[in-house]
Amino acid sequence: MQNEQPNNERRSADCFFLDLAKGASLGVSAAIPGLSGGTIAVVEGCYDSLIHALSSLRKNFKKSFLFLLPYLIGLALGALAAFVGIKKGYSAAPFTLTGLFAGLVFGSLPMAISELRKGENGKQKAIYALCFSLCLLLASGLGVFTALCKVNLGDQLLNRTWWMYLLVPLSGFLAAFSFIVPGISGSMTLMVLGMYYPILYTFMPADSGSPEQLALSLWANGDASFVGTGIAMLLLLALGAVAGLVVSSKVMGRLLEKRRVPTFYGIMGLILGSLVSMFINADIYPKYLSGSIQAWDYIAGAVLFVLGAIGIYSLIRVAKKKKPMPVEGE
């Protein structure tokens, strides 16, 4: 299968809108924890060309930027639409949505496991175990820590805590870095960091919801002082994400090419750890304790967990049949 490559030829309106639609689907995948933007790009046949354009920004900025433009516009529109739906859904059924997201994450595990079987070296088992363990502890520990220590990053964001100005761009950087890797979700990374819902509720218009959600919204109660802070946070998040895309297009290509097996041991640790953080974090843990989650919510979450796992597993199989998970330099 051939992928389109950035070139100097002016693309037709049909091509522009096709790329816009592809970008929109990437935006939706970026907003949904557990759904990998890299996997969607492979399925759509644009992964190689996007990696090439991102890695060529410094060498040929104009040509690469014009190629990326419809994807970027579509990505922003798709993510915005998905965020609106997620915001409303989580307010009504938090465990249902968490179950769906966790199923999408769980369904991506076979992809990581299959990579572990390629080129394993018995002499490096200690390194593999270290990579897996560190990433597992990191991903799971973050969620458990915020839950048990009652660290609500949304409150910290609302109170303009100084270190949030460092955590927001770092979160954007890591999310964009994860977005590049097929099988790994950038928004899942935000959820593991505890930043997904604070960012979601900050940058989406306020509607019916809890007082905390309303207070976090830029559009709530006409709080002009927080609007300025929120816009600054949004810019920092965007800057971190742009830096993450540029850096990851080069680093992940080299890392997966030179240290593929240890890298995927680390990825599997992150995936498993993220499942723990999804169900035990500062946002949903208090809901368990208060009993505010109803029985139907738990049942729906369990059903969607299974359906989500089957769906993403099938999607990854389609992607692997169309083209092996590519990295720069292959």
pLDDT in tens, 78-95: 888 887 778 778 778 889
Task: Return the closest-CA partner of residue 203 out of 170, 235, 167, 169.
Answer: 235
Cβ neighbours of residue 19 closer than 8 Å, sequence gap 6 or more? 11, 46, 70, 71, 74
9-44 pLDDT tens trace: 445 566 888 888 888 888 887 787 766 677 677 666
* Predicted TM-score (pTM) of this structure: 0.65
Say if residues 140 and 277 touch (Cβ distance below 8 Å).
Answer: yes
176-203 pLDDT tens trace: 877 776 556 677 777 767 677 777 766 6
From the DSSP assignment, how many helices (H) and strands (E) are in the chain?
Answer: 16, 0
d(CA 325, CA 330): 10
pLDDT at residue 126 tops 90: no
What are the Cα distances from residue 266, in Å, to 89, 139, 254, 274?
Answer: 31, 10, 15, 12
Give the pLDDT band (50/70/90) at residue 174. Answer: confident
Give the pLDDT band (50/70/90) at residue 224. Answer: low
The secondary structure of 45-79 as a DSSP string is T-HHHHHHHHHTTTTSHHHHHHHHHHHHHHHHHHH
DSSP 250: H
The token pair that represents 7 in the structure block: 């070139």
d(CA 258, CA 236): 32
